[in-house]
Amino acid sequence: AQTVTQSQPEMSVQEAETVTLSCTYDTSESNYYLFWYKQPPSRQMILVIRQEAYKQQNATENRFSVNFQKAAKSFSLKISDSQLGDTAMYFCAFKKTGTASKLTFGTGTRLQVTL
């Protein structure tokens, strides 16, 4: 079974600064997908960024980028130029390849962006 670990329950960052959220996972699969989801106070889950394990290049979406280290089974999220609207719970998630496979979520990191 796959496990996803987020070791930072809470983090805080000042507006316009950069913050990195950590995620590690454990799997025996060689190919899989990794995701970061954001859950703001509205509770609506929003996909932030995704990474295919077979791709060496780190994914980037505007201010959000990942540092994917496959050998270390590490998948951290970097948020640049933090904005107040980034305040949310962030969940790292893992998915095996295959259309029927499910998402396995980490325990989440609560990020607070302050003035």
Partner 1 sequence: GAVVSQHPSRVICKSGTSVKIECRSLDFQATTMFWYRQFPKKSLMLMATSNEGSKATYEQGVEKDKFLINHASLTLSTLTVTSAHPEDSSFYICSARVPGQGVYEQFFGPGTRLTVL
Contacts with partner 1, residue ranges (CB under 8 A): 33, 35, 42-47, 50, 52, 91, 95, 97-100, 102-108, 110
Nearest approach in angstroms of CB 63 to partner 1 is 19
Contact 94, 27 (CB under 8 A): yes
Nearest approach in angstroms of CB 43 to partner 1 is 5
* Intra-chain end-to-end CA distance of the chain, in Å: 41
* DSSP class of 8: -
Closer residue to partner 1 in complex, CB, 63/105:
105
User: How many whole angstroms separate alpha carbon 17 and alpha carbon 46?
Assistant: 22
Closer residue to partner 1 in complex, CB, 11/45:
45
Nearest approach in angstroms of CB 68 to partner 1 is 15
Closer residue to partner 1 in complex, CB, 16/46:
46
Alpha-carbon distances, residue 109 vs 57, 72, 85, 96 (angstroms): 24, 20, 15, 22
- The number of angstroms, rounded, from the C-alpha of 113 to the middle of its chain's C-alpha atoms is 17
Closer residue to partner 1 in complex, CB, 76/104:
104
Nearest approach in angstroms of CB 58 to partner 1 is 17
